[in-house]
């Protein structure tokens, strides 16, 4: 599959499970999104589950995020 002009594959990065276990060990919450991550983050922000969305672009704005920090 090609996304944004780059070939992508459907396999998960080898560190994903290790990071999930690390987050669990320290008591942090995490979730997997079935669709576009920008839409999920905007919804979490709209419902005050997360305070802000940290991003390198403005895609979350289209999905209605209330507080966006661009870096």
Can you spell out the DSSP letters for 1-58? -EETTEE--SPPPTTHHHHHHHHHHTT------SS-HHHHHHHHHHTTSSS-EEESSS
More confident residue, 35 or 54: 54
- Specify the number of domains making up the chain: 1
Domain span at residue 27 reads: 2-70
Residue 1 pLDDT level (bands cut at 50, 70, 90): low
Residue 27 — left, alpha, or beta (φ > 0 → left; ψ -120 to 50 → alpha)? left
pLDDT of residue 39: 94
pLDDT of residue 36: 85
- Tell the residue number behind the tokens 């599959």, with chain if given: 1
Note the pLDDT tens digit of each residue in 8-51.
Answer: 777 778 899 999 999 999 999 898 887 789 999 999 999 999 99
What radius of gyration do the chain's Cα atoms show? 14
Q: Two tokens at 39?
A: 């839409």
């Amino acid at each position: 599959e090609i996304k944004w002009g780059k070939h992508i594959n459907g396999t998960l990065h080898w560190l994903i499970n290790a990071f999930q276990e690390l987050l669990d060990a320290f008591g942090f919450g995490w979730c997997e999104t079935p669709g576009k991550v920008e839409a999920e983050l905007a919804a979490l922000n709209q419902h005050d589950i997360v305070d802000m969305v940290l991003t390198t672009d403005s895609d979350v704005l289209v999905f209605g995020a209330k507080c966006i920090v661009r870096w």
